[in-house]
Amino acid sequence: MQAVMRRMMRIGISLCAMLSLLIARDAAAQAVFSETRARALPRNEFAFGIDQWQYAPDSGDPSGGSTRWGLVLVSRGSLLGQWNLGEQEGALRLGDYLETGVGFYGATGTGSLRQSPVLRLPMHYGLQLGKLTAGGTQLVGRAGYAAGLSATAYAGPFIGARVKHRAVGVESSYIMDSEGSNASVLLRWYPRTSMGIFNVALRYERQRYEPTGAFSLTKGASERSLMLLFSGER
């Protein structure tokens, strides 16, 4: 009987030790998760998806426009790092902001009107300032310089904003090009099972090109882009 009791005590002690270890590991994982989620600025992000891209000249000639489908890759991060500005770690942070991307779009049209595949290469670089509110809402402001190659190249200063609360995030940006403008809106959804890391995003972008001068023969044009992105950020 005593031998059985000793064996049961050993088993109980072993189970308690295993349970304590699991609880400690879970607490450590939750601490890492809380640190990752409770930050005023995301560290980095990588996204991929599909894009429907439309180009339309103001002339109204359908042969001059095109609608393409493409695959896109987007990377966001920081070159110099991020710095904490508040008393509480992660509540107020400043850092540089680098966003690069590449989109590959297939050929479009038929016969003599067939157009070759093209690449789009956007890039943003500047500063970002993030604030994490007491309620857990992430507020981010961005400003810098943007450039890109597409149907027509563009370059100019940009401003942007990001708001994230629980499972929903919204971002926007506006590029002031000397010959036009570029505005975009992005809506994110973070599934509960993703622990705030993985998300699905829908991004709409409209780019406008104006004629280069009063006597220019170059007509204006516009581009529209609708992207479905699958993203991971931390």
Residue of 122, 114, 107 lying closest to 158 (CA atoms) = 122
Per-residue confidence (pLDDT) for residue 34, from 0 to 100: 43
Please, what is the average pLDDT of the chain?
Answer: 82
Give residue 231's Cα distance to chain centre. Answer: 7
121 contacts 148 by C-beta, under 8 angstroms:
yes
DSSP bridge partners of 49: 72, 229
CB 179 within 8 A of CB 155: no
The answer to whether the CB of 180 falls within 8 A of the CB of 155 is no
Q: Give the pLDDT confidence score for residue 178 in this predicted structure.
A: 76
Query: How high is the pLDDT of residue 36?
Result: 42
CB 197 within 8 A of CB 167: no
The per-residue pLDDT for 74 is 97
Comparing CA positions, the residue from 172, 159, 179 lying closest to residue 221 is 179
Q: Which residue has the higher pLDDT, 210 or 33?
A: 210
pLDDT of residue 189: 95
Mean pLDDT of 38-46: 89
Task: Check residue 190 and give its pLDDT.
Answer: 92
27 or 94, which is more confident: 94
- pLDDT level of residue 26 (50, 70, 90 thresholds): very low
Cα–Cα distance measured from residue 194 to residue 186, given in angstroms and rounded to the nearest whole number: 19
Q: φ and ψ at 199, to 5 degrees? A: -150, 165
Read off the pLDDT of residues 118-162 as tens digits, 9 standing for 90 and up.
899 999 999 999 999 988 899 999 999 999 887 667 899 999 999
pLDDT in tens, 86-115: 777 778 999 999 999 999 998 887 766 778
